[in-house]
Structure 1
C-alpha cells in the first residue's frame, strides 16, 4: 500500500486534519524516530484539533455577533470607568457559563456596554461555547412574527439551546405588556440552564418601573437581577473620547 492510497482514503472519509498531519509526518524525517503509538496519537490529536476549530468557526458564523474583533484584551480598566479588573477577570474564565449564571452590563450610551458583552462572547466562542447575539427590539419583533406564523415554540427551543445569549440594548424603546411577557418567557426558558448577558442604558433600579407589569417584573428580576454578576460602566462616551483624539 502506498501513500497515495492512504491519502485517497483519508479524503474519502473527510479526515482533513488527520490527512494534513500525515503529510507532515511523511515530509519530516524526525517523525520516523517516534514510536508507532506516538505517531498515531499525533494523527488523532491533529484530527481532534481540526474538528474543534471547525466547530468554533461554525459557531462564530452562527453567533450573529456584530463586532467579531471585540477582545477582552482591549477592555479599558481606567478608574473613571468603574470596571473592577479583578472581578472582571473572574468572568473571563467563563465559569459563569459553566455555572449557568448571568451578567448585567449597564451604563450610558457609548460607554462600551456592547463592546464589553461582545468581547466576553468572542472569548466564549473560542472556548467552544455556543453563543448568540441579538438586540432586544429585534428579538421582540422576531417573537411577534413567530407567534403570528405559528413558529413560536420552535423559536423558544432555538434560543434555549445557546449556552450564552447576549441581549443587547434592553430598555432603549417602549415596551408593551405582550413584549414584557414574551421577553420573560425567553429568560425563563434559560434560567439555571444557560447564561445570558443583558446590556442596558437603564440602571437596574429603573427596570421595575420600565417593565410596568408587577407580576412579570417580580419574576424576571428574581431570575435575572438577584443572581447576576453586575458590571456598571461609568465615565464619558468612548465614541466622544475617540473623536477628541482623532478629530478628523
Structure 2
C-alpha cells in the first residue's frame, strides 16, 4: 500500500533516477537478498548517474560546439604533426584547471576545429562550462550588443565561462573596435579562465595581423605567454573524406 505514495513523493522531489531504480528493484526477486543499505545505495547511485548525465547534456547544449567530436575518434595516423601524447595530456583538462590557454594553428582542412571541439567535449564531461564561438560571429554579436544594450552582459558571459573557444581567428583584419573587444575579453579571462583559439594564421604573424602594435602586445601577452600550442601541418583531410563527411574532419 505504500508503493504508489512513495513513488509520488520521490517524483515530487524530482528524484527520478531513484524512481526508475526502485521500479527495477521491484521486478527483481533476488534484490531481497541485499541489505537495506545496499538497496538504498543502488537507488542513490542511479539518481547520481542520472543527474550527472543531465548536467553533462546541459553543458553541451550551452557550449554550442560546431562538431560532435570526441577524443576517442581523433585520427592520429594522418601525417599532420599531431602528437598523441600531447593531445591525451590536454584531454586530462589539467591546463583548464591551471587557467592556461591553448592555441591550435594549421592550414585549412587539417582538423583544427575538430580537435578544439573534441577537447571541449572532454571539458564538458569534466564539469567545466564551455562556449564555442567563431571569431567573425563573435564580433558581429558584440556589434549588435552595443546597439541593444547587451554589451556588458555579453562580456560578463564570456568572462565567467571556464573554457571559451574562438574558432577561425585571423580570417580578416581587425578594426579598431574589434581590437578593443578582443582585448577586453582576454583581459577579463587572463589568469582566471582558459581560452582556446584556432587559426590558419601562423602564430608568428598574429602580432602583425592585430594591427596596432601596442594593442597587439597587450593581447598576445594575455593569450600566448601561458599557452600550450598545437602546430598542425600537411594537406587537407577533407580530400580523403567522402563529401557527406567533409565537415567532420578529424
For the aligned pair, the TM-score class normalised by the smaller chain equals over 0.9
Which SS does the other structure have where 1:80 is aligned?
A: coil
Q: Tell me what 1:108 maps to.
A: 107
In the comparison of the two structures, how many residue pairs are matched?
A: 244
Which SS does the other structure have where 2:102 is aligned?
A: strand
Asked if 1:8 is matched to 2:8, the reply is yes
Structure 1 residue ranges, 4+ long, deviating more than 6 angstroms after superposition: none
Structure 2, unaligned runs of 5 or more:
246-250
Q: TM-score, normalised by structure 2?
A: 0.92
Q: CA RMSD in A?
A: 1.6
| Inter-partner Cα distance in structure 2 for 1:54 and 1:35 | 29
Q: CA deviation at 1:97?
A: 1.2
| Inter-partner Cα distance in structure 1 for 2:18 and 2:190 | 40
Q: Tell me what 1:208 maps to.
A: 207
Q: CA deviation at 1:8?
A: 1.2
Which SS does the other structure have where 2:79 is aligned?
A: helix
8 Å contact kept, 2:173–2:210: no
Q: Tell me what 1:220 maps to.
A: 219
Structure 1, unaligned runs of 5 or more:
none
Q: What whole-Å deviation, never above 9, does each CA across 1:47-74 have from its counterpart, x for those lacking one? A: 1111111111111111111212x12122
Alignment of 1:110-129 (within 5 A): 110-129=109-128
Q: CA deviation at 1:79?
A: 6.7
Alignment of 1:87-98 (within 5 A): 87-98=86-97
| Inter-partner Cα distance in structure 2 for 1:219 and 1:159 | 19
Q: Tell me what 1:58 maps to.
A: 58
Alignment of 1:17-56 (within 5 A): 17-56=17-56
Q: TM-score, normalised by structure 1?
A: 0.93
